[in-house]
A and B are shown apart, each in its own frame.
Chain A
Amino acid sequence: MADQALPIRGTLDLTPAQSKRDGMLEILHDWITTVDHKKLGILYILYAILFLLVGGAEALFIRIQLAFPNNHFMSPQVYNRFFTMHGTTMVFLMGMPAIFGFANYLVPLMIGARDMAFPRLNAFSFWMTAFGGLFIYYSFLGGSGLYGVGNAPDVGWFAYAPLTARAFSPGNATDYWAVGLIASGFGTIGSGINIVATIFSMRCKGMTLMRMPLFVWLNLTVSALVLITITPLTAAQIMLCIDRYLGGHFFDTQAGGSAVVWMHFFWIFGHPEVYVLVLPAFAIANEIIPVFSRKAIFGYPAMVTASVGIAFISLSVWAHHMFTVGMTSASNAFFTLSTMLVGIPTGIKIFNWLATMWGGKIRFATPMLFMTAFLFQFLIAGLTGIMLSVSPWDWQLHNSYFVVAHFHYVLVGAILTAIFGGLYFWFPKVTGRMMDERLGKINFWLFLIGFHLTFDVMHIPGILGMPRSIYTYEANRGWGTLNLIVSIGAAIQGIAVLIFAYNMVISLFKGEKAGNDPWDAWTLEWACSSPPPSYNFATEPVVISRRPLWDLKHPEDPDWKYE
């Protein structure tokens, strides 16, 4: 970078260095009371990784149970709790905090701001999210009171009525689930408001909307989407609580209520939620792919349009989860078509990423490896999605392992893969040290092999008729070998995740020093030191193009001349 510019008078930070903090208590106090967006971002990510390990362990237990026909590794009751908690954990306690962690840490840095628009709201949101997660997990102890040795919710992550009615879910497990999600939902809404306000009101001079990094654009889209998708879930959970505690009849068919209404309300939240999770994965890809292809992103305006387009379309596709409920053929046709429509903007994105890589000088460091896998896997996930959007096909395969394989392809193959890539990419910025490249490659290949072993094969038992959420199956069904392969793949993925966690810890202490800009990237966060100082930028940056650091590094050929 422009080292020769040092030191410019008046720009050096002259505040005296703080005395080194010591004592566990003081450090703990620092982290708990912090309102710094970077520290909160790290807390979000650590929280997400913790629950990735917890939810992953639950998945492994589920896979052990399903590995052999007529297996009784755990009781059916425990099995139900585990798949419910696995789904809830991965969506609400791992996925959402991970995306907000990235957004929290990076959005203010990328737009050249000092902090988020509302730092204290930011802290509040994190602690609400954390409280919600711990509250849900407390149900393992308190679900039916400690004397009843507790139990976790066992109604599935979409908690269809009337399973959640008092008669079928006695005890408090379902209430822990509902109230925990309302609490973490408040945190999510707070974060969403905060990110939108930050992006609109805190941009540095010259950072017009069309000069923002695509990462910021996508997080703006996601946060706006969060405001109108998490809130219906909150509303539905309030209704559920009214039903369970005050004797209401929203979802009580015996009093004229309707179980299908819950399905609609849940999926009005549930489907856009998929895009809330996947758009941040796109955001990460938008930053990593250009840097490692040594080219500016292809088709920036098209990417922005496609992102906003996906957000809008995602609001009108929810009932494709309900083709088998028995809707009118007009609604079936509408939701089939609207679901297929999602393929257009996502297709634009995939082609733009390919065009960015095309003719580029690609460097296959670990982040880029993950991004390449992301591209292929997201494509396949999208294609099975298009298959399932066709309602007759869905009638055949609804709630089968084909569907499970499809959405895990999205959640693991696209989102988790992108999150791994993002963690490898920004780890040097956050800690000042590189993650180990050799361990990173082992992590990548193991994860890739495990992933494909699990989720490619998982499609087949689905086509053969294996329904989701079943406790066990007969030997003569012919699903045994396939399920064993799936379980072996899951174990390999588990090892890969452990290697990742080990790599993170070891690199934090022993990693190679990163410097400010190890990847030779172009967005503003790489202009700060690694880790960035608490004030981010000593002088407010001014931006005149989409790649401010390119302009700085190449004054002879700056971007702004062409934009």
Chain B
Amino acid sequence: MSAVPIIPDAPQEQPWHLPSRGRVAMYCLILGESAIFIIFVVAYVFYIGKSLTGPTPQQVLEIPIFNSICLFSSSVTIMLAERHIEHNRIKQFGLWWAATIVLGLIFLIGTGAEWYKLIYKDGLTISTNLFGTTFYSLVGLHASHVIVGLIGLSLVLAFTITGHVNEKHSERIQILALYWHFVDAIWVVVFTVVYILGR
């Protein structure tokens, strides 16, 4: 019975197009992740200025301008890489892709240096006060997303170097790039909240 075709003899319609499942899934993931970030951002904003003890953001936070420029420009380099893979220019793709990874790494190192200064010089840890709790959890949540993104990007780079990537993979690569764009976009929010509003 299962082999009976359920194909009606009725007017058939225009060609049948469905969205790519990978893209839909990535948008869903981004939607869910956004909700997580919203909760952490709301907590951060709600607790601005509610710490009972120091240090306060004004005393210890410096605006990470170089870091942020690196992360934002990684969105541009990954876009250029996407263009090249669409036209099967593997070499240029690999170069821009590697540049993206380097920019992401610089951002991570910058965050690490910032945390090192905060912990060892200013004595601010996650348990010092409310500012510490909300700061490390929000920035840390974003940094952990950068790490996950970098792992994904590095896998693609490894496959590119070993010659396994061609333009057939451009769809998948663009889906991964979508995640990276999301990580960058979130930094706009985190940057605004933590370093401008909260300071």
Please determine whether B7 and A117 come into contact, CB atoms closer than 8 angstroms: no
B40 to chain A, nearest CB (A): 6
The interface bits of chain B over 35-77 (1 if a CB of A lies within 8 angstroms of the residue's CB, else 0) are: 1101110010011001110000000000000000000000000
Contact of B32 among A189, A258, A538 (CB under 8 A): A189
* 9 CB < 8 A contacts A-B: A197-B22, A197-B28, A201-B20, A201-B21, A202-B18, A255-B51, A257-B50, A527-B1, A538-B2
A273 to chain B, nearest CB (A): 13
Contact partners of B137 in chain A: CB under 8 A: 238-239, 242, 248, 250
Residues on A facing B (Cβ under 8 Å): 1-3, 5-8, 11-13, 112, 117-118, 189, 192-194, 196-198, 200-203, 205-206, 224, 227-232, 234-236, 238-239, 242-243, 246-250, 255-258, 261, 265, 268, 516, 524, 527-529, 532-533, 536-539, 541-544, 548-549, 551-552, 555, 558, 560
Please determine whether B43 and A6 come into contact, CB atoms closer than 8 angstroms: no
A255 to B53, CA, bound (A): 8
Q: Which of B97-127 contact A (CB under 8 A)?
A: 126-127
Interface size class on chain B is: 35 or more
The interface bits of chain B over 1-32 (1 if a CB of A lies within 8 angstroms of the residue's CB, else 0) are: 11111111111110010111110110011011
| Sample of 20 further A-B pairs with CB below 8 A, known A224-B31, A246-B126 | A3-B1, A196-B24, A200-B24, A202-B18, A205-B16, A227-B28, A228-B35, A231-B36, A232-B35, A232-B38, A235-B39, A248-B127, A248-B137, A258-B47, A537-B2, A538-B3, A538-B5, A544-B12, A558-B10, A560-B10
Contact partners of B11 in chain A: CB under 8 A: 544
B43 to chain A, nearest CB (A): 6
Instruction: Identify the 4 closest CB pairs spanning chains A and B, nearest first.
Output: A247-B127, A201-B21, A541-B6, A235-B39
Q: Does B130 contact A (CB under 8 A)?
A: yes
Please determine whether A249 and B6 come into contact, CB atoms closer than 8 angstroms: no
Please determine whether A200 and B21 come into contact, CB atoms closer than 8 angstroms: yes
Known: A202-B18, A256-B47. Contact between A193 and B1, CB under 8 A?
Answer: no
Closest residue of chain A to B22, judged by CB?
Answer: A197
Please determine whether A201 and B19 come into contact, CB atoms closer than 8 angstroms: yes
Known: A13-B2, A527-B6. Contact between A257 and B130, CB under 8 A?
Answer: yes
A229 to B31, CA, bound (A): 11
Please determine whether A552 and B8 come into contact, CB atoms closer than 8 angstroms: yes
A192 to B28, CA, bound (A): 8
A255 to B133, CA, bound (A): 11
Closest residue of chain B to A229, judged by CB?
Answer: B35
A192 to B30, CA, bound (A): 13
A276 to chain B, nearest CB (A): 13
B159 to chain A, nearest CB (A): 19
Contact partners of B29 in chain A: CB under 8 A: 193
Please determine whether B10 and A196 come into contact, CB atoms closer than 8 angstroms: no
Contact partners of B13 in chain A: CB under 8 A: 206, 544
Contact of A11 among B3, B32, B36, B127 (CB under 8 A): B3
